[in-house]
């Protein structure tokens, strides 16, 4: 911690700080820590908001969640292959949430077709915030990681976290400190996730087939996605990788069960879209159904997508539910130890009680809809306002309630385009990537695939980087 603090102390000098910030911006641009600008210029790119220094993180908590990731992967995999669990779990949600209902409708049709492609690929990310009721950073070692969510679709920033990690090491070296690997663990998320996509391609068993990235109509996080493509080529240079928007896939065909796009057979479909309602119109849903009914391996398959919903997360936190998926009590207990309080808002006595408690104490909870991508959760007094507006309508069943995690506050410098970086109070969220590949009966791959940190100023409720709420970061273990 002292070595990191010496860098913070050096940055108190305005000239040193300005030079360090400019050096870091140029490093980011030179090494692809970038995203497409939202300016009207079509070829305008800028650097992703980032922290100048890594954020302190307790070593024990970091090692705990890294060691847990293979079991998290396995949990999602087993949930995804339990039809009756998903059906019963999501019953109330699909009655009120059109987006989740559309996903489940595809799942039902694929299930009835007996899964033309039984193998699923998941590039998952399990997100955690440290919980420290005292808020005293001197007691950082006492903080416990609590799971925020598991992302099963379009988990982002694994492609550009490695150069960001190197950027922060570069900054610290320029400030007189060379961090060790024990302090800043190596970050190879791009290679590990690329290896996962390549494993899916190999499992398809056709070397002439391609990997298809399905991307948003307007894609800003291009460099992150491209770095995964380049990682695939570094491992296996002859694999064809294609990028298409949904609007470019409406004419894709199924020939003898095979997915054909522009005359090319597709081995793996990797979604970097389809996680929000505004990305999906009727034609997109038809196209996704066609893809799901093909032999292509999907990342994620529709059942993996459903396994990552907030409602499933809430049900898994109920007493005894994890034991449905793990006979090993130690594994179940280790996963459960990372759960915070999660509550159903179904129109039941328990749901009414949870809503009343949150209305009385809105600042103790987060209200979460079935959405990904940042900017969707409800915090503070807005929790009361939203729940009072929902009242006891069926729409309330489309949400879950979660205890508000109280993370320790540290300091850092957030560097943004056209903004002077100044020291600010921040909180961080750690994401652990995982790769899992297999069918209901056999696993081909299951491994932890590196980490990412997203850091935001205190007072900001949400944490999405592309949504404009957070900055990219890495850990300095203490």
The whole-number pLDDT of residue 242 equals 99
The whole-number pLDDT of residue 135 equals 66
Provide φ and ψ at 227, rounded to 5°: -65, -30
Percent of the chain with pLDDT over 90: 90
The whole-number pLDDT of residue 370 equals 77
The whole-number pLDDT of residue 373 equals 62
Band (pLDDT 50/70/90 cuts) for residue 467 is: low
Tell me if 122 is assigned to a ligand binding site.
no
**HEC readout, 321-344:** CHHHCCCCHHHHHHHHCCCCCEEE
How far apart are alpha carbons 18 and 15 in whole angstroms?
5
pTM of the predicted model, to two decimals?
0.95
Each residue's pLDDT tens digit, 368-393: 987 766 668 899 999 999 999 999 99
Percent composition of the chain: helix, strand, coil (DSSP 3-state, to 5): 40, 25, 35
Match 């005292």 to its residue by tokens: 134
Tell me if 459 is assigned to a ligand binding site.
no
Residue 409: count of CB within 10 angstroms of its CB: 14
Average pLDDT on 252-259 reads 98
Tell me if 149 is assigned to a ligand binding site.
yes
Band (pLDDT 50/70/90 cuts) for residue 461 is: low
The whole-number pLDDT of residue 468 equals 60
Tell me if 454 is assigned to a ligand binding site.
yes
pLDDT over threshold 60, residue 463: no
> Residue 197 corresponds to which tokens in the numbers above?
């996509």
Tell me if 368 is assigned to a ligand binding site.
yes
Please tell me which residue, 217 or 133, carries the higher pLDDT value: 217
Nearest partner of 453 among 61, 153, 77, 95, judged by Cα: 61
The whole-number pLDDT of residue 375 equals 67
Q: Which residues are catalytic?
A: 125, 149, 151, 156, 310, 368, 372-373, 454
The whole-number pLDDT of residue 359 equals 96
How far apart are alpha carbons 282 and 339 in whole angstroms?
36
> Residue 114 corresponds to which tokens in the numbers above?
């007996």
Architecture of the CATH domain 341-404: 2-Layer Sandwich (3.30)
Tell the burial category of 424 from Cβ atoms under 10 Å away from its Cβ (0-12, 13-18, 19+): middle
Where do you find CATH 3.30.1490.50 in the chain? 341-404
Q: What angle do CA 11, 167, 463 make, to 5 degrees?
A: 85
Average pLDDT on 151-176 reads 98
For residue 300, say if its preceding peptide bond is cis, omega within 30 degrees of 0: yes
Nearest partner of 394 among 98, 89, 91, 92, judged by Cα: 92
Residue 263: count of CB within 10 angstroms of its CB: 6
How far apart are alpha carbons 468 and 315 in whole angstroms?
30
How far apart are alpha carbons 45 and 226 in whole angstroms?
14
Report the chain's mean pLDDT, rounded to a whole number.
95
Each residue's pLDDT tens digit, 338-371: 999 999 999 999 999 999 999 999 999 999 987 7
How far apart are alpha carbons 183 and 408 in whole angstroms?
19
Band (pLDDT 50/70/90 cuts) for residue 462 is: low
Range name among 23-27, 213-217, 466-470 with the lowest pLDDT average: 466-470
pLDDT over threshold 80, residue 289: yes
Match 């669990």 to its residue by tokens: 85
Range name among 110-114, 120-124, 407-411 with the lowest pLDDT average: 407-411
Tell me if 181 is assigned to a ligand binding site.
no
**HEC readout, 363-392:** HHEEEEECCCCCCCCECCHHHHHHHHHHCC
Each residue's pLDDT tens digit, 394-443: 999 989 999 999 999 999 999 998 878 989 999 999 999 999 999 999 99
Each residue's pLDDT tens digit, 167-203: 999 999 999 999 999 999 999 999 999 999 999 999 9
Tell me if 446 is assigned to a ligand binding site.
no
């Amino acid at each position: 911690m002292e070595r990191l603090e010496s860098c913070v102390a050096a940055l108190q000098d305005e000239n040193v700080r300005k030079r360090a910030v400019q050096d870091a911006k140029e490093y980011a641009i030179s090494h692809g820590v970038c995203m497409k600008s939202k300016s009207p210029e079509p070829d305008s790119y800028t650097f992703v908001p980032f922290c100048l220094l890594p954020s302190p993180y307790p070593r024990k908590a970091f090692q705990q969640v890294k060691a847990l990731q293979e079991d998290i992967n396995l949990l999602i995999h087993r949930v995804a292959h339990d039809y009756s669990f998903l059906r019963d779990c999501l019953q109330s949600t699909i009655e009120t949430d059109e987006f989740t209902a559309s996903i489940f409708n595809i799942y039902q049709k694929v299930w009835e077709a007996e899964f033309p492609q039984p193998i699923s690929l998941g590039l998952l990310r399990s997100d955690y915030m440290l919980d420290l009721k005292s808020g005293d950073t001197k007691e950082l070692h006492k903080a416990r990681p609590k799971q925020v969510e598991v992302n099963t679709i379009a988990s982002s920033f694994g492609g550009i976290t490695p150069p960001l990690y190197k950027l922060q090491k570069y900054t610290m070296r320029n400030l007189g400190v060379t961090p060790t690997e024990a302090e800043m663990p190596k970050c190879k998320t791009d290679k590990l996730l690329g290896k996962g996509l390549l494993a899916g391609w190999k499992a398809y068993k056709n070397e002439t087939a391609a990997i298809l990235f399905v991307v948003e109509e307007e894609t800003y996080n291009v460099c992150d996605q491209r770095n995964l493509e380049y990682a695939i080529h570094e491992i296996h240079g002859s694999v064809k990788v294609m990028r298409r928007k949904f609007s470019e896939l409406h004419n894709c065909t199924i020939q003898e069960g095979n997915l054909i796009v522009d005359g090319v057979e597709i081995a793996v479909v990797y979604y970097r879209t389809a996680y929000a309602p505004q990305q999906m119109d009727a034609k997109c849903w038809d196209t996704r159904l066609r893809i799901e009914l093909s032999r292509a391996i999907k990342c994620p398959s529709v059942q993996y997508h459903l396994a990552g919903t907030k409602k499933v997360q809430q049900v898994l936190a109920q007493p005894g539910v994890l034991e449905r998926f793990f006979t090993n009590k130690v594994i179940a207990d280790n996963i459960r130890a990372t759960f915070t309080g999660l509550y159903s808002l179904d129109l039941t006595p328990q749901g009414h009680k949870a809503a009343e408690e949150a209305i009385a104490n809105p600042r103790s909870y987060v209200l979460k809809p079935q959405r990904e991508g940042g900017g969707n959760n409800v915090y503070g007094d807005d929790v009361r306002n939203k729940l009072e507006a929902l009242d006891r309508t069926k729409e309330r069943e489309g949400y879950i309630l979660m205890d508000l995690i109280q993370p320790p506050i540290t300091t850092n410098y957030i560097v943004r385009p056209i903004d002077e970086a100044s020291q600010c109070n921040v909180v961080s969220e750690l994401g652990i990537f995982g790769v899992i590949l297999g069918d209901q009966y056999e696993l081909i791959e299951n491994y932890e695939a590196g980490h990412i940190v997203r850091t935001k100023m205190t007072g900001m409720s949400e944490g999405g980087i592309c949504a404009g709420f957070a900055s990219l970061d890495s850990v300095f273990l203490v």
